[in-house]
Amino acid sequence: MILRLAIGSLRARGLTVAMTLLAIGLSVALFLGVEKMRTGAKASFADTISGTDLIVGARSGSVQLLLYSVFRIGNATNNVTWASYKDIAAQPEVEWIIPISLGDSHRQFRVMGTTAEFFERYKYRQGRGLELSEGAFFTDLFDTVIGADVAATLGYSVDDPIVVAHGIASFTEHKDQPFRVSGILKKTGTPVDRTVIASMEAIEAIHVDWQNGAQIPGQSTPVDVIRQMELTPKAVTAALIGVESPLQTFALQRQINEYPEEPLLAILPGVALQELWAIVGVAETALLGVSAMVVVTALIGMMATIFSSLNERRREMAIFRAMGARPSTIVGLLVLEAVLTAAAGAILGVLLLYCGLTIAQPMIDNAFGLWLPIEALSLRELWVLFGVVVAGAIVSLVPAVRAYRLSLADGMMVRT
């Protein structure tokens, strides 16, 4: 009986209830959307590099090593000598190892020297590999493969020339040894998109006439001569390692960290990513707080709507009382109306969320490399919806208590 009365009352105030439903639905969709963005960003963040067991570099901090080797942020404190790199590569626990050489740039994009095996071994988003959108991988000493963002920002296509600058934000360029774009990678949503990738030998080639960070005055070796030279690197910035067995990871890490020839650091990418997320994760807490306040504001708006309708419903309440309805019935009616409104608003919010995800998912993935999976609500999100309904019932208690305190005589009084 009371359910029928509540539904009839909500229908009678259709426009007001619809606006309240929309406010709650939008706020719930926003809150759940922020939650999806938060979990999606965290997952994409953790999936920046997968399948790599260890990252090795000069001894510094784990976050710093992760930042410059994976995210191309900052610079290494020192390099790893080629002899140490070869020594680590010869360890029986090492299944594969890929060198990384950083330090040069091209129009604010980092240039990374590596081997062709990098394109095979580098994995992201739980095992996805790098793919070309056009062109081919290295076929010549001065070939380079560029990320999707580099190509889009600078308008490059296959066979376009690239002149690498010495250092970061440097005006000194290796104009005498230009590169050629041999391939363009598909967008990955990782720092690879913003990287110009060349071979280790090419990085050595453009520095043949350089010493101590500066070009040797008056010296310019012809390209034909450079091609005939032994271009074995003298040092690398970092290295990505895959081990034979996961059980050997910690033993190899300890062995590298205690390497006697020079101070080295080996880190677990997953652990370092968690440390980095703990640093930058303050923003997600603030964002969740803002979206939670939006939900609270919508609930307060619902309470205000109930309050404003009480004056119009004074006679209705009085008639219920005159017909023998108990005060608890009046309270129950108003609380049930609020619960139905909050529940319907929560359901509307979920529908808006999934409609928005369906439309925005490919665009967000293409623009930011952020993958937002369309999947069932998590237990945490279901608790959020339950909390919205309970909060709706709680905020309705204030106007409900006021309603049942209205006296019968006051309710039947004709005001002029």
pLDDT by residue (tens digit) across 164-223? 988 776 567 878 888 999 999 998 888 999 999 999 999 999 888 777 666 777 777 888
* Cα angle value 387/279/286 (rounded, 5°): 35
One-letter identity of residue 216: I
* Cα angle value 185/374/270 (rounded, 5°): 60
Question: Does residue 218 come out as left (phi exceeding 0), alpha (psi in the -120 to 50 range) or beta?
Answer: left
Spatial distance between the Cα atoms of 45 and 66, rounded to a whole number of angstroms = 12
Spatial distance between the Cα atoms of 323 and 28, rounded to a whole number of angstroms = 39
Placement of tokens 């060349």 in the chain:
198
Backbone angles phi, psi at 192, to 5 degrees: -60, -30
pLDDT digit string (tens) for 327-372? 667 777 777 878 888 888 889 989 999 998 888 888 877 766 677 7
pLDDT of residue 408: 46
* Cβ-contact 53, 242 below 8 angstroms: yes
Spatial distance between the Cα atoms of 256 and 1, rounded to a whole number of angstroms = 75
* Cβ-contact 399, 310 below 8 angstroms: yes
pLDDT digit string (tens) for 79-125? 999 999 999 999 999 999 999 999 899 988 999 999 999 999 999 88
In the chain, what is the straight-line distance between the N-terminal and C-terminal CA atoms, in Å?
34
pTM across the whole model? 0.73
Percent of the chain whose pLDDT exceeds 90: 35
pLDDT of residue 135: 93
Characterize the bridge pairing of strands 94-106 and 238-243.
antiparallel
Boundaries of every domain in the chain: 2-45+282-412, 54-267
Backbone angles phi, psi at 165, to 5 degrees: -95, 145
pLDDT digit string (tens) for 37-47? 777 777 777 77
Spatial distance between the Cα atoms of 4 and 10, rounded to a whole number of angstroms = 10
Return the minimum-mean-pLDDT range out of 84-93, 147-156, 185-194, 404-413: 404-413
